[in-house]
Amino acid sequence: MAQVSARKLQDWKDQGFEPGNCPVRQVLDHVSAKWPVLILLELGRKPMRFNELLRALPDISKRMLTQSLRNLERDGILRREVFDTKPPSVTYSLSALGEGFLPHLLALVDWAETGMPEIVAARQRFDTV
């Protein structure tokens, strides 16, 4: 594993990727930020409409929901479909790209859940010193 990590980093540096201009990091930032994670998990269950998401995520604001959805849509991770009914309805769903991301996200969440006891213990040790 260390070798993989080492090779990847070297590859990037060979290509002149400074952390600042790395396109991968931009995407990672979008998907791993506060709300996008929750949004993607919700949409992993089923496609949803705007206000449906608003209700499912109790303490998100409209502003943040809109912004997060736009970012994810722009990156092609989710799809936005407008039905010109009255009143209008808009549904959001994962794209193929988004579906491909979900397993990684769940694996990460699993890792964090599994490691929680150890992490909590580490924190207590750190804080009491």
Residues that bind a copy of itself (CB under 8 A): 1-2, 4-6, 8-9, 18-20, 23-25, 27-29, 32, 34, 37-38, 41-42, 44-46, 57-60, 73-77, 97, 99-104, 106-109, 111-113, 115-116, 118-123, 125-127
Nearer to a copy of itself, 50 or 64 (CB): 64
Binding footprint of DNA, residue count (CB under 7 A): 21
Contact characters 9-38, DNA, x per CB under 7 A: ------------------------xx----
Residues 6+ apart with CB under 8 A from 93: 43, 47, 48, 78, 79, 81
DSSP one-letter string for 13-43: HHTT--GGG-HHHHHHHHHHSHHHHHHHHHH
Cβ atoms of 50 and 92 closer than 8 Å: yes
